Amino acid sequence: MSTSYAAAARLVRVLVRAFFRRIEVVGSDNVPPSGGGLLIAWHPNGLIDPALILSRMPRRVAFGARHGLFRVPVVGALLRAVGAVPIFRAADAAGSAEERRRHNQLSLAALARAISDGDFAALFPEGVSHDAPHLMELRTGAARLYYEARRATAPGKPLPVIVPVGLHYDDKRAFRSSALVTFEAPLRLPAHLDVTPEAGESDDVERERARQLTAEMERALTEVIHATESWELHHRMHRARKLVRAERGRRAGKRLERPDMVERALGFARVWAGYYQRRRSHPDEVATLEARLASYDADLRALALEDHELDADPRLGSLWLPALLALQVVTVYLLLPPILLVGYLVNVPVALLLVGVSRLVSNAYKDEATVKVLLGALLFPVVWVGAGIVAARAHIELRASIPALPDVPVLTGVVFALVAALGGAVALRYLRVARETARAVRIRLFRPWRKRATARLLAERAALYEAITGLAEGLELPGQVGDDGRVVRGAGRSG
């Protein structure tokens, strides 16, 4: 591993870790410890997608990146540092048709050599980043690269493998959100595709084989990402996941903590797998259940509640509860803000500027996270240093008026810069605490007025749970349901 690659990889890890509050990884042991291979993933979040893979991949990975990205300041330098190979797609490269094909073949040949030498290459077969909850049409470039790498692999060396990668975001545009990276088991190809092309094969044969392998990749990625036809259906499946989890916990007598990304993805996978199986076998029952689920979801949204909050006791029967709530409100809204004042004064204007600039220069929502990471990595340190310089100069001016002050402008500047940086980090967590406190006030004080609606929703949640689990009876679903209602990795079961 080259020094430039190691340094660039460390920088990417720092940037990604700063952007996400939590990153979870599953399936690293599915990546073979030796031999080359191809990572394939969908592409929902611009440059964040390859950055996540690079930061969590246990082995060196070479990326094929659209050639235009190498002309972007900072981005191009970073791509070259990690050894990315410019991909000249036949559809958008300049020159004649023959020149475009030649550029495309040279790009694939460079990545194929890296794979045959024992590295992994990462490609996004869709070719473009997007905002849909499903795959765009896959191009055949990844399949052609795989066969080119097999052809270039020396006899006796391990043949390259294809590892699907799942990228899951709880809110892909939000700063300090969570992400999950799953490395799936290498594809098991049917016999007619698990071959090394022979020299002299006709173009038609190669094209047809690449097309069939691309179809296999699409099937695998569709399962990995749990693709849905629309965001409406996607959100409805998440509602089903949450209500089933909340009802399971209530019946088990457990107050479940917020699920991590692994459990969230497993729970969604169970709903997704059950939905598509039963939509084929029981279409009328599924359609009726969807309509009821949509009505339940609308009622919850109107009350600004989540499924698990229906189980909270809405009464303030003990004197300690309102006292603790009042103490929480005073601490969060009165005592902490002065402490965080420096962090807000220095960082909020930069954050607002970052949001505005990212929306202005981004081609689509998928690019906002990328722009935020790159600009934030540059702007925030500059602003912190600038704040320290301003504080040092202010100290000098103030000491001229008050000679009794210690003559420590440098120390003042350093401390102020550190407080600005730390204050910004604490402020991010404070915003979440403030939102949770506001929610606690709303639930504990306002829900008694909605007791009748809450009771009706609890009954409907229980009925929906029975309907969902009844339809799932007999199906083999991902994950395993624990005694407390949580979904964990393991052998699948129904329910």
The pLDDT tens digits for 75-84 are: 777 777 777 7
Looking at residue 317, its pLDDT comes to 44
Sign of the four-CA dihedral 233, 234, 235, 241:
positive
Split at pLDDT 50, 70, 90, the class of 455 is confident
pLDDT digits (tens, 9 = 90+) for 178-211: 999 999 999 999 999 999 998 888 989 999 999 9
Split at pLDDT 50, 70, 90, the class of 316 is very low
Q: Are residues 161 and 261 in the same domain?
A: no
pLDDT digits (tens, 9 = 90+) for 205-257: 999 999 999 999 999 999 999 999 999 999 999 999 999 999 999 999 988 88
Q: Are residues 120 and 234 in the same domain?
A: no
Burial of 171: CB neighbours in 10 Å, binned 0-12, 13-18, 19+: exposed
3-state secondary structure of 85: strand
> What's the CA gap between 465 and 471, in Å, rounded?
10
Residues spanned by the domain of 90: 3-225
Q: Are residues 207 and 319 in the same domain?
A: no
> What's the CA gap between 444 and 322, in Å, rounded?
9
Q: What distances in angstroms separate CA 248 from CA 265, 339, 483, one per listed residue? A: 17, 42, 9
3-state secondary structure of 272: helix
Q: Are residues 343 and 440 in the same domain?
A: yes
Q: Are residues 286 and 187 in the same domain?
A: no
Split at pLDDT 50, 70, 90, the class of 426 is low
- Averaged confidence pLDDT in the chain: 84
Q: Are residues 253 and 189 in the same domain?
A: no
| Angle in degrees, 0-180, between the axes of helices 48-56 and 3-19, rounded to the nearest 10 | 110
Length of the chain: 495
> What's the CA gap between 272 and 16, in Å, rounded?
29
How large a percentage of the chain has pLDDT more than 90? 42
> What's the CA gap between 482 and 487, in Å, rounded?
6
- How many angstroms from the chain centroid is the CA of residue 419? 30
Q: Of 185, 210, 225, which one is at a domain's C-terminal end?
A: 225
Q: Are residues 203 and 269 in the same domain?
A: no
Looking at residue 446, its pLDDT comes to 59
Q: Are residues 278 and 172 in the same domain?
A: no
Q: CA nearest 41: which of 133, 140, 163, 158?
A: 163
pLDDT digits (tens, 9 = 90+) for 358-370: 666 655 555 666 6
Q: How many domains does the chain contain in total?
A: 2
**Whether residue 64 has pLDDT greater than 80:** no
Q: Are residues 161 and 240 in the same domain?
A: no
Q: Of 172, 191, 225, which one is at a domain's C-terminal end?
A: 225
> What's the CA gap between 433 and 336, in Å, rounded?
11
**Whether residue 322 has pLDDT greater than 70:** no
Reported pTM: 0.75
**Which range is least confidently modeled, 37-46, 117-126, 227-236, 355-364?**
355-364
**Which pair of tokens denotes residue 443?**
């639930």
Q: Are residues 336 and 194 in the same domain?
A: no
| CATH number of the structural domain spanning residue 52 | 3.40.1130.10
Q: Of 194, 225, 256, which one is at a domain's C-terminal end?
A: 225
| Angle in degrees, 0-180, between the axes of helices 261-281 and 283-303, rounded to the nearest 10 | 140
> Cβ contacts of residue 45 below 8 Å, gap of 6+?
129, 167, 169, 172, 366, 369, 370
Q: Are residues 466 and 396 in the same domain?
A: yes
The DSSP bridge pattern shows strands 85-87 and 61-66 to be parallel
